[in-house]
Each structure stands twice: as structure tokens, then as C-alpha cells.
Amino acid sequence: MSARLLLSGLLLVAAIASAIAVVHVRHEGRQRYVELRALNAERDALDIEYGRLQLEQATWAEMSRVERVAREELGLVRPEPAQIVVVRR
């Protein structure tokens, strides 16, 4: 009878340990899922910002704008053909 009681006690302890492990693993899984959702939201925000920055870069790099800034702000002018020197090696 003692061996049976000991076996029942061990099985009870094993069942309780297993239940605690299941709860822990499920909790860990939920935490990871919440973290994944937050990282996905951050990724989406960064993708939106990257697209905005690409558009801004394209706007700043437009040839008409570069030419206007060169003329108006820097005072640059297109050289006359006589002023152009071709250097060859």
C-alpha cells in the first residue's frame, strides 16, 4: 500500500509540475506575441518614414531645383563655349 501511495504522490506532483509548465509556456508565448506585434508596428512606421524620406530626397534632387539654387543662391552661370577646356590624358 505504501508503494501505491508513493506512486500516487509522485504522479500528483508530476501533474502539478506539468500544469505549471504549461501555464508558464503559454504566458511566455503571449508575451512573445505582444512583442512581435509591437515590432511589426514599429517596422510599419519606419517603412512609412522611409518612403517619406525617399520622396523628400527626390524632391530636393530634382534638376530644376538644383539648377535654380545654383543660379540664385550660389550665383553660378553656365560657361560660354570659349571658356570650356577639355583635358585629355
Q: In whole angstroms, what is the distance from residue 33 CA to residue 46 CA?
A: 20
Q: How many domains does the chain have?
A: 1
Give the pLDDT score at 21: 97
- Whether 37 is in a domain gets the answer yes
For residue 79, being part of any structural domain is answered with yes
Could you tell me the three cell numbers for 42? Answer: 514599429
Indicate yes or no: pTM above 0.75. no
d(C-alpha 20, C-alpha 26), whole Å? 10
For residue 19, tell me if it sits in a domain: yes
Q: How much is the pLDDT for 85? A: 92
Give the residues of the chain that fall short of pLDDT 70: none
* Distance in angstroms (rounded) separating the CA atoms of residues 14 and 28: 21
| 72-85 pLDDT, tens digit each | 999 999 899 999 99
Q: Return the pLDDT at 60.
A: 87
The total number of residues written for the chain in this structure: 89
Q: Is residue 89 in a domain?
A: no
Q: By the 8 A CB rule, do 65 and 59 touch?
A: yes
